[in-house]
Structure 1
Amino acid sequence: MTLTTTFYDAIENRRSIYGISKEPVISDERIQEIVNHAVKYVPSAFNSQTARVVILLGDNHTKLWDITTQTLKGMVPEDQFASTQEKMDSFNAGYGTVLFFEDMSIVEGLQAQFPSYADNFPVWSLQSSGMLQYTIWTALESEGFGASLQHYNPLIDEEVKTTWNLPTSWKLLAQMPFGKPTVEPNPNKEFEPIEDRVKVLK
């Protein structure tokens, strides 16, 4: 199998997987290698390298979803909380969570250094983070994990920073719980006609 085919297969096979377990798939060291490689090589505007990532495993993974659960309990009516609890339990059932941040001190520094691009730097920062999230998601799935992308920020931001003593300049953008899949993805995913989404002009 050629590298190109493997790359295309990885893109096609990446899906949102919500049924995950704590059963190990690869070593913790390999998980860190995947994240390190992605953070190093995913591009960023002006080579700003604004991405920051925290890998939560074991009790730290559990703690994140306990924090999120308790935060949501203060917002969702008790008689409507069952479905939220079920969702929290499904994320907590996984092996770990990847937290994605952007270091806003760098973004703000670039805005000051290049004022004519000031409005663009936050947008470029988000674009780079999106590429990083996709790269790590696809890589984890290629190794046999299932994952999904969640967004409980900014509700949990301050407690996350306090709990793990993270810099105040780090802005939380996404949470990616992952684990060994316990369900198959929906085989009937629908796609809009590609001819409506891509134009080739010669």
Structure 2
Amino acid sequence: MDSKFLDLMGNRRSIYALGENVSATNEELISLIENAVRQAPTSFNAQSTRAVILFGEAKDYFWNTIVTDRLKQEVPDEEAFKGTQARMDGFAAAKGTVLFFIDEAVIKFQQENFPIFADAFPGFAETEQGMAQFAVWTALAEQNIGGNLQHYNPIIDAAVTEHFDIPAEWTLRAELNFGSIEAPAGEKDFMADDQRFKVFGN
């Protein structure tokens, strides 16, 4: 069975060699990202995902100052930090970065109004996050724009909240870098199907 969607999924890879050579305008990229988040499924139609899109100086400040300065506190030796600095430089070289958040106020509202599912709502929100991140990443890949997903939360949360004036109720969950593909992804390995899937009935 042929599937264009599965082909798109296969094109969505972790690309680390990213650049700013993207033909789409910032406005077009913003529209694409916002629509992908908007169309992603959400349990109870909660719509708890929030996204902050960074370009230019804002993107550079995020990687070169907020993340880099925080990581230097964990790796104080300059020689040992060279590898980390190279990664930060690579992330900063991308066209932009999407910061994905969960709005905890939405979860609290759900818990108060649907108490029978109260314990499940945080997990539902995480599932929504994954689908929104995947939707954005795949939509970018369709436009031949590469991406890689990072997780420097929670150690950078306070600095991000302060610098970008993020509502206190928003919790950072991931950082998606995107840009022109300057070098392809490597080969991808898959685990054996018999360890991953079970099928019953016919």
TM superposition score category, shorter chain reference: over 0.9
Distance 2:18 2:94 in 1: 5
State the 4+ residue runs in structure 1 displaced beyond 2 angstroms.
Answer: none
Percent sequence identity over aligned pairs = 38
TM normalised by structure 2 equals 0.94
RMSD: 1.2
Give 2:31's match in structure 1, choosing from 33, 38, 43.
Answer: 33
What is the match of residue 150 of structure 1?
150
The 5 Å alignment of 1:41-80 reads: 41-66=39-64, 67-78=66-77, 79-80=79-80
Shift of 1:106: 0.8
| CA offset digits 1:36-70 (Å, max 9, x no partner) | 21222111111111010011011111011021001
Number of residues paired by the alignment?
198
| Partner SS, residue 63 of structure 1 | helix
| Partner SS, residue 74 of structure 1 | helix
TM normalised by structure 1 equals 0.94
Distance 1:70 1:81 in 2: 11
The 5 Å alignment of 1:93-132 reads: 93-132=93-132
Q: Which amino acid aligns with 2:71?
A: L
Q: Does 1:92 align with 2:83?
A: no
Shift of 1:86: 0.7
- Contact 2:19/2:179 (<8 A) preserved: yes
Distance 1:148 1:22 in 2: 14
| CA offset digits 1:86-111 (Å, max 9, x no partner) | 11011001100011001001101111
What is the match of residue 163 of structure 2?
163
- Contact 1:25/1:143 (<8 A) preserved: no
| Partner SS, residue 162 of structure 1 | helix
- Contact 1:25/1:145 (<8 A) preserved: no
Name stretches of at least 5 consecutive residues in structure 2 with no aligned partner.
Answer: none
